[in-house]
Amino acid sequence: MSTHRKTIISVNDLWKQYGDFTAVKGISFEVHEGEIFGLLGPNGAGKTTTLEIIETLREKSSGEITIDGLNVDHDQNKIKKIIGVQLQAAGYYPNLTLLELLNLFSGLYNVSIDKKHMLSLVGLEDKSKSRYKSLSGGQKQRFSICTTLINNPKIVFLDEPTTGLDPQARRNLWQLIREIRGKGATVVLTTHYMDEAEELCERVAVMDNGRILTMNSPDHLIDELVASGFERKKEVKKANLEDVFLHMTGREWKDE
């Protein structure tokens, strides 16, 4: 059931070619304001390409994209001001501390922020004076997500946000993502973790080979599948191994 909400991102017939290879083959979809929208698919499906085109980081070959009424071809700088972006693989000046990096980004966005507070959102307030290069992979990921919130964006784009994180960090990040949405922002994420999509996303689009195969809410898609006669092979227990793990090791951020 979709309530009639304002469309904040509209993608129309988007194509992206790299020479002979077509990464995105004429996809169209809409993202509603205030929802958590997921772009699912295997590696190489075209999710990251699509996301980067919407984030104004990549040129499209053809198609129309509108973000909060702004045109991705003409209003790039205005779009950059209202979005937060977490890249799949990103770097920062490795010798700088987290506080110094937040200073850098607050200057880049022309805003003033409460740096300690920002770091506490992702559980890194103890590492504020640590250099970026000394962080573990998971901590770097969390810092990346922290930088997406600096300019108080209307839309937050997350590219595989929990890849490489341990179960505690994943759960805590899911909570953070829900809180971001709770404050009124829209979240667009890509993932190939289905449990994540099921937990967080109100609607998902499943991509493969540059095309969108299907798009609906996770519940709808599951109902459809079951209705078509599908049956799971193994009997589902009332708990799984991840529940065991979390139960035994606790739900707090773990220092890596």
Bridge partners, 166 (sequence order):
none
Query: Binding to other proteins by residue 114, rule CB under 8 A?
Result: yes
| 191-250 binders of other proteins (CB under 8 A) | none
Count of CA atoms in the C-beta half-sphere (13 A) of 146:
29
Answer for which of 150, 187, 188, 189 binds other proteins (CB under 8 A) is 150
Answer for which of 15, 29, 109, 174 binds other proteins (CB under 8 A) is 109
Q: Which stretch binds other proteins (CB under 8 A): 7-15, 24-32, 42-50, 146-154?
A: 146-154
* CA 36 – CA 43 distance, rounded (Å): 21
Distance of CA 4 to the CA centre of its chain: 23
Dump the DSSP string for 76-88: HHHHHHHEEEE-S
Binding track, positions 20-59, relative to other proteins; x by CB under 8 A: -----------------------------------xxx--
* CA 208 – CA 205 distance, rounded (Å): 10
Query: Binding to other proteins by residue 95, rule CB under 8 A?
Result: yes
Closer residue to other proteins (CB): 179 or 224 = 179
Query: Binding to other proteins by residue 136, rule CB under 8 A?
Result: no
Q: Are 111 and 149 in contact (CB under 8 A)?
A: no
Residue whose tokens read 């092979």 = 233
Query: Binding to other proteins by residue 19, rule CB under 8 A?
Result: no
Closer residue to other proteins (CB): 108 or 213 = 108
Please tell me the count of residues contacting other proteins according to CB under 8 A: 41
Give the tokens for residue 47.
């999710």
Closer residue to other proteins (CB): 34 or 167 = 34
Query: Binding to other proteins by residue 99, rule CB under 8 A?
Result: no
Q: Which stretch binds other proteins (CB under 8 A): 1-9, 147-155, 188-196, 243-251?
A: 147-155
Sign of torsion over alpha carbons 143, 145, 146, 151: positive
145 in helix, strand or coil?
helix
Closer residue to other proteins (CB): 16 or 80 = 80
- In sequence order, the 6+-apart residues with CB closer than 8 A to the CB of 221 are 204, 206, 214
- The helix or strand, by DSSP H or E, that contains position 206, with its residue range, turns out to be strand 203-208
Q: Are 204 and 37 in contact (CB under 8 A)?
A: yes
Closer residue to other proteins (CB): 67 or 206 = 67
Query: Binding to other proteins by residue 80, rule CB under 8 A?
Result: yes
Closer residue to other proteins (CB): 55 or 196 = 55
Binding residues for other proteins, rule: CB under 8 A, are: 55-57, 77, 80-81, 83, 85, 87, 89-96, 100-101, 103-114, 117, 121, 147, 149-152, 179-180, 183
